Amino acid sequence: MEGSKILRTAKLINDNPNAQKRVPYHYVSHKTAAEENLPGRFELFILDEGQQKIEVREETKVPNTTVFTFNKEDHTLGNLISQRLLKYDFITFSAYKVPHPLFATFELRVTTDGSITPKDAVVRCCKDVIQDLSKVSLSFQGEWLNQKIIEEGQRDAEVRDQGNY
Amino acid sequence: MDIDDFGPKEPTCRMLEANDKRAYFIVRDWNLETANSLRRVMLAEVPTLAIDTVEVIDNTSVLADEFIAHRLGLTPLIAEDVDKLVDFRDCDCEDSRCDNCSVTLRLKAKCTGNDVMKVYARDLVIESMPPSDKLGQPVITDADGLGSCIVKLRKGQAIDMRCIAKKGIAKEHAKWAPSAAIGFEYDPANKLHHLDLWYEGDDPKKEWPADEVRIDLDGGPEKTDEPFNYDAVPERFFFDVETVGGLSPDAIVNNGIKVLQQKLASVIKELTGVDEANAGLDGAQSPAMDGGFGNDGYGNDGGYTTPGYGGGNAYAGGTTPYGATPYGGAPGW
Ligand SMILES: [Zn+2]
């Protein structure tokens, strides 16, 4: 009963003239139709035409203060740089804000004690974080290899034990 | 000699689990902001490969074209050596699909028998010439070697689709996410009192079972007889990186670190390049950059340009880490 039903449906499909008539090479992208009116999500990380990555604005009302506007960046850099800066003695103020959640941008405001410009402070901070990350990376790679060898050894031992049974 | 004489402590890793699926590790003597940024980068900004456009040549299955295209997009593909692909937005080719910026897969199946035919990820066949053998192969982890099921066909039904896989990041679409989940935790014993535990009975400890293993790894439970240290900050972080299959867990971590470093390098480049721009250079090849890491006091441990990072790592490619524009060379990254 079930079998004959399937056969009949299959025959219908084979005989269906429309099944053969479809336009070949119909393109389906992963993000058109339903999202047509939305801005592409790549706008979160690809700079607009003529847009600069970082806009630097000196704060004239407060000494040694600069506001950096980072375009197409988010909390990943904002929090990282602003919090890291606070650890230096020459920083008197450092914070960031995302003015609007729909725009991929953040503002970083930095004040120093005058011994270094805010821009140089940010550059130094970035260099230091890069150094730190390199240390983590090296340590991670070494540890990964060690642990992987250990785990593979354990697995081999288990296989051997099972074989001895 | 006191240990503090050696200057600030350097971050170090301790691996707890390392296999094809998972990298479970602790980073000691680190800070929350960098650890969290690494977590965010591994979630959303490590490039992988996923099917992005589907050319439907034939589809008489019960599922709509878009439906299958969506399923194909979410099918994990091996992303090893994805750095060898150019970002399709930067490629000069027509309709952004050439061997430099994409991998083409074909899914072709017709059911002729009376039984329902299942079409699996393993049925995706690479049609183009990818830069490496593995790149773009469907990820298959099950014992039967099938991969995930994409459609079912009944007698007479057929599908024929050409899928163009491209390099991308999960910030654009989750199909490019390298990791299924990233566990991230610090201070499991809540010694820093960053958490205020909700409780409905008399004792929050009864309602919030402690993770004894992690607490042991994190220096034991809170010492109630000592005064609270208001200056204490988190410095030990648990990472648990689970892969979707496209990249090995260690590659996700290494690439995550690399992407974050490139992000920071682009900030340095942009900021130091501004001065250069005034001097008539446009900052693309700023001399200050080349000297920056290697020579001015960072030279001793090599750091960013260390062989362990640049040379030993297959993902570093042939470019200098510094000048390389991250993520396929989108300008300004
Ligand atoms: Zn191309």
For chain B, how many helices (H) and strands (E)? 8, 10
- Residue A20's pLDDT band (cuts 50, 70, 90): low
Q: What is the pLDDT of residue A32?
A: 55
Instruction: Assess whether pLDDT exceeds 60 at residue A24.
Output: no
Instruction: Decide if A135 and B12 are in contact by the 8 Å CB cutoff.
Output: yes
Cβ-nearest to A143 among B15, B157, B261? B15
Chain A / chain B CB contacts < 8 angstroms: 226
Encoded tokens for B272: 């130091």
C-beta atoms of A27 and B55 within 8 A: yes
Tell me the nearest-neighbour CA distance from A99 into chain B, angstroms.
19
A31-49 residues labelled b (16+ CB within 10 A) or e (exposed): beeeeeeeeebbebbbbee
For residue B164, give the nearest of B91, B95, B248, B241 by alpha carbon.
B95
Q: Is residue A12 part of a domain?
A: no
Please indicate, yes or no, if residue A35 is contained in any of the structural domains.
no
> In this predicted structure, what is the pLDDT of residue A38?
74
Left, alpha or beta for B193 (phi > 0: left; psi -120 to 50: alpha)? left
Residue B80 near residue B49, CB atoms below 8 Å: no
Q: B158: which strand partners?
A: B110
Residue of A28, A40, A143 lying closest to B65 (CB–CB) = A28
**B328 CA from centroid of ligand 1 (Å):** 12
Q: Which domain holds residue A141?
A: 43-162
Q: How many helices (H) and strands (E) does chain A have?
A: 4, 5
pLDDT band at B8 (very low <50, low <70, confident <90, very high): low
Q: What DSSP character marks residue B77? A: B
What is the rounded average pLDDT of the residues B36-52? 96
Over residues B108-162, the pLDDT tens digits come to 999 999 999 999 999 999 999 999 999 999 999 999 999 999 999 999 999 999 9
**B136/B97 Cα distance (integer angstroms):** 14
Global pTM reads 0.82
Distance CA(B172)–CA(A42), nearest Å, equals: 5
The DSSP bridge partners found for residue B159 are B59, B109
Check CB contact of B54 with chain A, cutoff 8 Å: yes
Say which DSSP state B121 is in.
G
Q: What is the mean pLDDT of chain B?
A: 82
Report how far ligand 1's centroid is from the alpha carbon of B55 (Å).
17
Which of B56, B155, B313 faces A10 most closely, judged by CB atoms? B155
A155: three-class secondary structure by DSSP: helix
pLDDT mean over B183-207: 93
Cβ distance A28 to B69 less than 8 Å, yes or no, reads yes
Residues B197-234 as b/e (b if ≥16 CB within 10 A, e otherwise) read eeeeeeeeeeeeeeeeebbebbeeeeeeeeeeeeeeeb
Q: How many folded domains does chain A comprise?
A: 1
Beta bridge partners of B59: B159
Pick from A27, A28, A53: CB nearest B270:
A53
Q: Which helix (H) or strand (E) holds B126?
A: strand B125-126
3-state helix, strand, coil in chain A (%, to 5): 50, 20, 30
pLDDT of residue A77: 96
- For residue B264, the CA-to-ligand 1 centroid distance in Å is 28
Which pLDDT value is given to residue B134? Answer: 92
Residues B68 and B159 sit within 8 Å (Cβ to Cβ): yes
CB contact under 8 A, A136 and B11: yes
Q: Within its chain, how far is the Cα of B83 from the centroid?
A: 12
pLDDT for position A8: 57
Q: Cβ contact (<8 Å) for A6 and B257?
A: no
Q: Which residue has the tokens 């183009």?
A: B128
CATH number at residue A95: 3.30.1360.10
Band (pLDDT 50/70/90 cuts) for residue B323 is very low
Indicate which of B9, B271, B333 best probes the interface with A, i.e. most A CBs within 10 Å of its own CB: B271
Contact residues, chain A, for B89 at CB < 8 Å: 42, 46
DSSP B230-250: TT----EEEEEEEE-SSS-HH
Q: How far apart are CA A105 and CA A110, in angstroms?
A: 16
Q: Does pLDDT of B318 surpass 50?
A: no
Q: Which CATH number fits domain B49-172: 3.10.20.30, 3.30.70.20, 2.170.120.12, 3.30.360.10?
A: 2.170.120.12
How many Å apart are CA B307 and CA B101, to the nearest integer?
28
B245 phi-psi bin (left φ>0, alpha ψ -120 to 50, beta other): left
- Given a cut of 80, whether residue B191 has pLDDT beyond it is yes
Residue B155 has its nearest CB partner, among A7, A28, A81, at A7
Q: Is residue A20 part of a domain?
A: no
B326 has a pLDDT exceeding 50: no
Share of chain A above pLDDT 90, in %: 64
**Chain A CB within 8 Å of residue B13 CB:** yes
Ligand 1 center–CA B131 separation, angstroms: 12
- Model pLDDT for residues A113-133, shown as the tens digit of each residue: 999 999 999 999 999 999 999
Tens-place pLDDT, residues B235-292: 999 999 999 999 999 999 999 999 999 999 999 999 997 433 333 333 333 333 333 3
Instruction: Kindly list the protein residues that place their beta carbon closer than 5 angstroms to ligand 1, a single-atom ion.
Output: B 91, 93, 98, 100-101
For helices A118-164 and B249-278, the axis angle rounded to 10 degrees is: 160
Share of chain B above pLDDT 70, in %: 79
Chain B hits for A151, CB-CB cut-off 8 Å, are 17-19
How far apart (Å, rounded) are the C-alpha atoms in residues B2 and B23? 34
Task: State pLDDT tens for residues B144-159.
Answer: 999 999 999 999 999 9
Cβ atoms of A79 and B33 within 8 Å: the answer is yes
Does some domain include residue A95?
Answer: yes
